[in-house]
């Protein structure tokens, strides 16, 4: 176990499956990173169109609402840009096409560091959303070696993109997390960003209380008041 500082003046790319995933696991760290001079781009693989308890909801309208909420949440955190790939919610597959799209955005944004789901040692155990596992695995494959190797998805290079080597990956929702970040300076923005997802928040007060408790429990492991935890991979 170790305590680490939020990323500072670097380019960060966060890759997540659904519109409210980063708020759950890494938004406090991202808010602190922005304060330290980082630039963040967010790539959302689905628009979360199945995330409604309304039996009569139109998935297309749900997707529109959730994308709008994601944009508002990103503004709360200081994220520079949000891009939606609009893969089907709950049905993301680990395909050549998905890997290629992730590689394309890595090459376009040229991040020093990538945040994404832990696809192997995931949380919650056994009941982790399948989209999280699939997106995390595809993101790691895109980071290494595909985005780095100029002969992988060579048509992107021919179209003017440059191959890119990412230096680190921070895996969130990881049962093997060993790196803890103090998110006390960014916690209120994390909560504000999560509450921007109004369609997913039937009881805001209960959510705030539960999320403060969770951040406190994570922090206790590292003697911090409020924390998020990651598995950090160094990419050679």
Q: What is the tens place of the pLDDT at every residue in 49-107? A: 999 988 778 999 999 999 999 999 999 999 999 999 999 999 999 999 999 999 999 99
SS3 call for 233: strand
Residue range 198-209: mean pLDDT, rounded? 97
Lookup: tokens for 79: 């994220």
Query: What is the C-alpha end-to-end distance of the chain, expressed in Å?
Result: 22
Nearest-CA neighbor of 190 among 219, 136, 227?
Answer: 227
pLDDT above 90: residue 154: yes
- Provide the pLDDT for residue 236: 83
Show the domains of the chain with their CATH numbers: 2-234 (3.40.50.10320)
Q: What is the mean pLDDT of residues 4-22?
A: 97
Output 130-133 pairs: Cβ under 8 A, ≥24 positions apart. 130/90, 130/92, 131/17, 131/18, 131/45, 131/46, 131/89, 131/90, 131/91, 131/92, 132/17, 132/21, 132/173
Q: Which helix (H) or strand (E) holds 84?
A: strand 81-87
pLDDT above 90 as % of the chain = 97
- d(C-alpha 164, C-alpha 112), whole Å: 9
What average pLDDT does the structure give for the chain?
97
Span 219-226, average pLDDT:
98
Q: How confident is the model at residue 120 (pLDDT cuts 50, 70, 90)?
A: very high
CA gap 18, 52 in Å, rounded:
13
Residue 48's region, left for phi above 0, alpha for psi from -120 to 50, else beta, is left
What are φ and ψ of residue 167, in 5° steps? -85, -40
- Res 7 pLDDT > 90: yes
Separation CA 130–CA 137 (nearest Å): 11
Given this model, what pLDDT does residue 54 score?
Answer: 85
Predicted pLDDT of residue 56: 77
Threshold 0.95, pTM exceeds:
yes
């Amino acid at each position: 176990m170790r305590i680490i500082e939020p990323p500072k003046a670097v380019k960060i790319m966060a890759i997540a499956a659904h519109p409210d995933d980063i708020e759950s696991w890494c938004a406090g760290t991202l808010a602190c990173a922005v304060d330290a001079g980082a630039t963040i781009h967010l790539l959302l693989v689905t628009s979360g169109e199945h995330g409604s308890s309304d039996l009569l909801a139109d998935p297309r309208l749900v997707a529109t609402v959730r994308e709008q909420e994601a944009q508002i949440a990103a503004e709360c955190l200081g994220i520079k840009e949000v891009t939606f790939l609009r893969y089907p919610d709950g049905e993301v597959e680990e395909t050549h096409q998905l890997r290629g799209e992730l590689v394309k955005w890595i090459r376009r944004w040229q991040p020093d560091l990538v945040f994404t789901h832990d696809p192997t040692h995931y949380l919650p155990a056994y009941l982790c959303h399948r989209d999280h596992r699939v997106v995390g695995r595809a993101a790691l494959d895109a980071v290494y070696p595909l985005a780095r190797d100029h002969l992988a998805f060579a048509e992107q290079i021919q179209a003017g993109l440059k191959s890119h080597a990412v230096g680190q990956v921070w895996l969130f929702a990881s049962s093997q997390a060993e790196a803890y970040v103090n998110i006390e300076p960014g916690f209120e923005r994390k909560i504000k960003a999560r509450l921007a997802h109004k369609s997913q928040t039937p009881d805001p007060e209960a959510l705030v209380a539960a999320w403060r408790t969770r951040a406190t429990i994570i922090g206790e492991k590292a003697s911090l008041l409020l924390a998020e935890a990651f598995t950090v991979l160094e990419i050679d």
